[in-house]
Each structure stands twice: as C-alpha cells, then as structure tokens.
Amino acid sequence: MVRLVKNIKIVGLVLLLTSCPKKEYVAISIINNSDEDILWLFGLKKFGEWYEITSINPWLESDKYIILRRDTYIDRFGSAAIKSHMRNGWYKYCLFNLDSLKTIPWERICAERIILKEVTFNTWEDFEKCNFEITYP
C-alpha cells in the first residue's frame, strides 16, 4: 500500500510538472540593410510613446540598441507579455540614424519626427504577418 501511494505521488508530480504552461519566447529580427548605423527603440502605448524619453544618452551608450550597417539584431521577448500589452494598445519599433542622434538634439528629433522607419504592431497577428522581421530600408 505504501508503495502504491508513493507511485501515485510520483506520477502526480510528473503530471504536474509536464502540464505546467511553459513560458513562450519569440524573437523579432531587426535587419539593417543600409550603409549607415542605426539605433532602435520600442514603445508601448500603455507606458507612453517613445518620444516621452527625456534623454537618448542611455540608449546611445548601450550596444543593445545599436545595429551597425549590414547587420541584424534579434530582440527576444516573452510573447505573453507582449500580447498582454497589446490588449491595451500597440507595440512600436522606431529606427533612427545613429549619426543624427549624436548631432541633433533629442527634442528636435521628437518635434520634427526625424525617424528612419516606424513600425507599429496593433495585434499579435501583425507580428506574425511580418514573419517577426523589421527591415531597413
């Protein structure tokens, strides 16, 4: 009887562990096909637009957001988090010329919308339609 209870506990634990939902991660590739270095930012409607950032300096100092000419960056994220944010609005990627960001004040870039490319995803299906890729140009 003790052995049977022990086996039931083991089977129950295995079923519990294998039935737990796994966190699903996806990746979007940002492909720079140009001869210029670019910087990418993302924004969520829930948290405000990207131009509410008061200073671009932290992004300029991080290699994560800079994509060199003819290079690709892969942005990995949890799909559940993005789907949750999309219930409240959109998810947006903006690409900027790196040299422009270094020479033009951020306020002017925002006011004049000096952007190379802006891609807005309103639904999860929008991500799927683009095959999880953003290309520039």
Distance of CA 135 to CAs 17, 62, 80, 84, 131, Å? Answer: 40, 21, 24, 25, 11
Is a pLDDT exceeding 60 seen at residue 15?
no
pLDDT at 14: 47
Is a pLDDT exceeding 70 seen at residue 5?
no
Q: Where are the domains of the chain?
A: 22-136
pLDDT at 30: 97
| Strand-pair partners of 95 | 40, 117
The CATH number of the domain covering residues in 22-136: 2.60.40
Quote the pTM value. 0.77
Is a pLDDT exceeding 80 seen at residue 60?
yes
pLDDT at 9: 45
pLDDT at 98: 96
Q: Across the beta sheet with 25-32, what order do the strands follow?
A: 71-78, 25-32, 133-136
| Lowest mean pLDDT segment, chosen from 39-53, 73-87, 93-107 | 39-53
Is a pLDDT exceeding 50 seen at residue 8?
no
Q: What is the pLDDT of residues 90-137, one digit of tens each?
A: 888 999 999 999 999 988 888 888 999 999 888 889 989 999 999 999
Q: What is the mean pLDDT of the chain?
A: 81
Distance, CA of 56 to CA of 109 (rounded, Å): 10
